Amino acid sequence: MRQVLEVTVPVQIPDGMKLVPDDSHGYDGESLTGRTWTAKDLRLWCGNKSWPWLVDNILENPRYSREIGSMEQQGQLVHRGIKGSPWRFKASVMAAFLDRHWEELPW
């Protein structure tokens, strides 16, 4: 039988630096209810993926077209369809969408 020994090695934090919570996803621990994401917020939430990646793999992916279309009809995702027009996402709904499809996406 193989035994695994877990060892914790203390890390020395250099002077002038401090540990801060990781809010790289644009989420500070508060509820996403009532929040709106921009394209930049969505990129950060998805691990700083490029905008073309998000468009190809999520927003214009035929696999999700019905669900994305439904979000647009309900005003949870807003885009005018004109190049350069801003995207807006209802944060709680988009986060739930990403959670549902996390394993399917080509991260």
Residue ranges, the chain, pLDDT below 70: 1-13, 16-30
**Helical H segments across the chain, by residue range:** 39-45, 51-54, 65-73, 91-101
For position 25, what pLDDT does the model report? 46
Which residue is associated with the tokens 């394209």? 39
For position 6, what pLDDT does the model report? 66
For position 30, what pLDDT does the model report? 62
For position 22, what pLDDT does the model report? 47
Domain spans, the chain: 36-104
Kindly report the backbone phi and psi dihedral angles of residue 78, in degrees, each rounded to the nearest multiple of 5, phi listed first: -125, 130
